Structure 1
Amino acid sequence: MKYESKSYKAFKVLDVVILLLIAFITLFPFIYLFSISFSSSKAVLAGGVNFYPVDFNWGAYKGILEQSNFWLGYKNTIIYTVFGTLISLFMTIICAYPLSKKNLVGSSIFLKLIVFTMFFGGGLIPTYLLIQKIGLVNTRYAILLPGAINAYNVLIMKTFFQGLPESLEEAAKIDGLNQIGVLIKIVLPLSKPIIATITLFISVGFWNDWFSSLIFLNNDKLYPVTLFLRNIIMGTTMASKSGQTMDASSAQSLPQTLQAAATMLVVLPILCVYPFVQKYFVQGVMIGSIKG
């Protein structure tokens, strides 16, 4: 049996206590929102809700799920997330792979230009004027295209590509594969961890984005569900724009329980997806950081 000193045992205990404290701090907002969403409005206003629902009821969720604009927003969010992730992932790969090659002429210049965009942006008004000039305002493309490439994601993927053995690519070229074939058949299969990591980054970004829609969209039929949530939190509902009304029991839940229920419904898909990609996510981040 391995001997452990008292100081090491004390460190292990302290480590566990700190981790439990961090876990509690992380989970408490979620638990609190969950409890509020299933509690009555009277209990919430009285301040009696903490770790578990009080006067359990489904009124808040009923009020949200009965709104047709909520489902329309959910559909729009799925469209933006799926197609935005595919476009952004494709652009990130075809940008990062050439930059990972030492023999690329002007690679340092391209890399500096990419890094420059991380620190200096064009500004909100010039960006809006550009989107308006090319005719993308009030279209889905205004959400999908401006964020197609993220400099940080490009740098992470480039670093990962640089860590792959060059001998594998050379052997593939000897076997007759061209550069595109090497990328598709050799590089990408070996890059599943970083692809999963970048995919998670991109998809969460598109799923949570509401500001772009607020700026570039005027048609509520194109609004994502996060903008619906924003309007709920700000004290308005998208349903009111379409002339719909809530029943009396749902209206009583509007101040906090409705906000909590809407937040839970928006966050739930991300919470469900994350456990399936956690292995690749941790592996990809670790590999990218070590090789960087």
Structure 2
Amino acid sequence: MQSAGEDPLVAEPVIEVRDLRMRYGAKEVLVGIGFSARPGEVIALLGPNGAGKTTTIEILEGFRRRSAGHVRVLGADPERGDERWRARLGVVLQSWRDHGKWRVRELLEHIGGHYAPFSTDRIPRPWPVDELLAAVGLTAAARTRVTRLSGGQRRRLDVAMGIVGRPELLFLDEPTVGFDPAARREFHDLIHELTDMADTTVLLTTHDLDEAEKLADRILILSSGRIIASGSADELSRQVAGETEIRWTRDGQRFVHSTADATAYVHELFRQHGTAIDDLEVRRSSLEDTYMKLVHEAEVTR
């Protein structure tokens, strides 16, 4: 029931996590994790091995029981999610499953058949196989047996299996491992299409910081079971105390200056020299620089 003062136009969070904790014996793997995700948002989880990324994902998928904390995914506790709830999820794991007896098209049609009973007016399921094959770059391999696919093609098939049901929430664990640059770009376009057209929410884990920057609306950095930073790539860069490099040309001469306040410096530069300024470049810390510094600081202060 809607409470007094609640805005009916504000969508319920797709993911809602508060004080999530996970303990294995005496070792606490997750220490009070908290975040939410709204419809159509892409969130990337970054962190070194052992930071708690996979454990977090498995709890949200309903594959692992948490030790404590509040978790809601698509309005339900993942530990109690039924078949209809699970049909609203898509999961792309790091390793491909053995479906050697199947040909690619037959396999996707077979898996897609499990989603057909859960179609709604808003979301027709499953995804048309021809469109899906084209989206993941497997059209030419449609009649090929799974055992005869290359490693990269198997990875694309994993992705196709994860999205065949047009999920409302998609979990991607290192999704483009084995993709060549063209296939990676096509996959990124597909994710943008899912989030823009179908309002699919995506939770992504990746070690590819460039991929995280291209895909994610928000990045969560984990270290030792804690979220140590949250924000867009640009917001995270501004959180890190570091200098921005400014390059420009004036009267044929090239200048380079480093400053902690790029905005104020550029304003002053134009106030002094106006249209004489050419080829202005402002280079903030990269996401990789930011990530490495935040993780290092977290490990030092642990």
TM-score above 0.5: no
TM-score (norm 1): 0.25
Decide which structure has greater strand share: 2
TM-score (norm 2): 0.24
Decide which structure has greater helix share: 1
Q: Which has the higher contact order (CA 8 A, sep 6+)?
A: 1
